[in-house]
Structure 1
Amino acid sequence: MKKFDVIFSILCGILVAELINNFYGFSLGIFGWILFLILPAASILCLQLVENIGKKYLFVFQAGKHVLVGVFATIVDLKSFLFLAWIFPQLYLLSSIIIKTFSFILAIIIKYVGNKFWTFQKNEEGVSKKEFTKFLITNLIGLTIDVLVFYFLTKVISPQFGVLFVIWEKLSVLISAVLAGIWNFCGDKFFVFKK
């Protein structure tokens, strides 16, 4: 495994541990600290596993890398959403959809760079207008999926199962990002970065 793979895996594991530790707004105590040890190691082990399988089935290795890029971008999506809502509370009160759109756009940029140059190894080609246009189309559809799912979960069906709105909203951000991520992987693999 390359040095970058290890470092990026560790970073993703740490960020996921941090996300879990702060998700409910209270400390998880010793369990939270254990996550900071377990998740980076698990991330490295999983990437090593998909790399080994990917020697025979490249798609598996690409999917594993795509998941890591997606996890990283999803955390950036969530954290930038929360940050923008904190920085611009009036805008948040007006429409959380606007803030969600900006956080998603930032995540798109991260996904493009990560998937083009790391997941699909398209280093030799640079950025072409045709490829970038395909990427934008794919991700605009992904943005539509992301925002519509977020809107549906937060405005149409509202919190379910007695979950507080603040938690429901965070779950909605994550669910919408995952569904958009599935679309984006298929688009990236079979439309944007196909060889």
Structure 2
Amino acid sequence: MENKNKDYKIAIIAGIVTVLFAWPSLKNIQVGGLYLRLSLFVVVPVLWVFGLWLGKTLSRWLAFLEQFAKFVVVGFLNTAIDFGVLNLLSILTGLTSGFLIGGVNVPGFTLAAVNSYFWNKFWVFSHKRLPGEKVQYNDFFTFALVVIIGIFINGGIVILLTTYVNPLFDLNPERWLNVAKASATVLSLIWNFAGFKFLVFKK
């Protein structure tokens, strides 16, 4: 019971931090007013807790779903960090396309990746350590390799869509940048989950 409650508390914290980092993105694409954004500090943590509860419940039949639910919570947090830093830098530099946007994309992705390592190691893919067992970080090199490949996948798609594909649906450059980033995030998320589960945090 204690571990379950701990998981839900972690999900609440992840939800609050997710909203904090999502703020620059919402501002840059001009979505929602102040009250809507403030309401997310309640809505998102509740959704994360519900998703985690659902994953734990369904794990009675499919064991991996609890782990996947945690991964999704962390994934949204990392996505918020990634998008938030990208949009903040886009606001500050005025860049929304071109090869330079690839460089602007790197800090957020890197910060999200480092954040991802610790959340995944100690929460999503964690295992119970024996008394006196020290935390090992010898998986960090493999993690870094997976992340570097993810950076190229993510950055390449962002550059491709913002530079060589005209915005669809009459979207402005700021919103099209976020559409491109969302597309890149989906593909890199698939790569990261596979890489983390089978290469980095394998048991």
TM-score normalized by structure 1? Answer: 0.83
Unaligned runs of 5+ in 2: none
Q: Does 1:148 align with 2:156?
A: yes
- Of the structure 1 ranges 185-194 and 46-55, higher mean CA displacement relative to structure 2 is found in 46-55
Contact 2:86-2:105 at 8 Å conserved across structures: yes
Count of paired positions: 193
> Percent same amino acid among aligned pairs?
27
Contact 2:162-2:180 at 8 Å conserved across structures: yes
Mapped partners of 1:7, 1:50: distance in 2: 15
Structure showing the higher helix proportion among its residues: 1
Mapped partners of 1:114, 1:6: distance in 2: 14
State the Cα distance separating 1:16 from its structure 2 match. Answer: 4.7
- Corresponding position of 1:161: 169
Q: Note the 1:86-101 alignment, pairs <5 A.
A: 86-87=91-92, 89=93, 95-101=100-106
Q: State the SS of the aligned residue for 2:118.
A: helix
For 2:174, give the aligned amino acid: V
State the Cα distance separating 1:146 from its structure 2 match. Answer: 0.5
Contact 1:134-1:192 at 8 Å conserved across structures: yes
Q: Note the 1:56-75 alignment, pairs <5 A.
A: 56-75=61-80
Contact 1:12-1:68 at 8 Å conserved across structures: yes
- Of the structure 1 ranges 13-22 and 73-82, higher mean CA displacement relative to structure 2 is found in 13-22
State the Cα distance separating 1:70 from its structure 2 match. Answer: 1.0
- Of the structure 1 ranges 44-53 and 30-39, higher mean CA displacement relative to structure 2 is found in 30-39
Unaligned runs of 5+ in 1: none
Q: Note the 1:1-195 alignment, pairs <5 A.
A: 2-14=4-16, 15-16=18-19, 19=23, 22=27, 24-28=29-33, 35-87=40-92, 89=93, 95-122=100-127, 124=129, 126-129=135-138, 131-195=139-203
Contact 1:154-1:169 at 8 Å conserved across structures: yes
TM-score normalized by structure 2? Answer: 0.80
State the Cα distance separating 1:6 from its structure 2 match. Answer: 2.1
Higher RCO (C-alpha 8 Å, min separation 6): 2
- Of the structure 1 ranges 6-15 and 72-81, higher mean CA displacement relative to structure 2 is found in 6-15
State the Cα distance separating 1:68 from its structure 2 match. Answer: 0.9
State the Cα distance separating 1:94 from its structure 2 match. Answer: 7.8
Q: State the SS of the aligned residue for 1:57.
A: coil
Contact 2:106-2:151 at 8 Å conserved across structures: yes
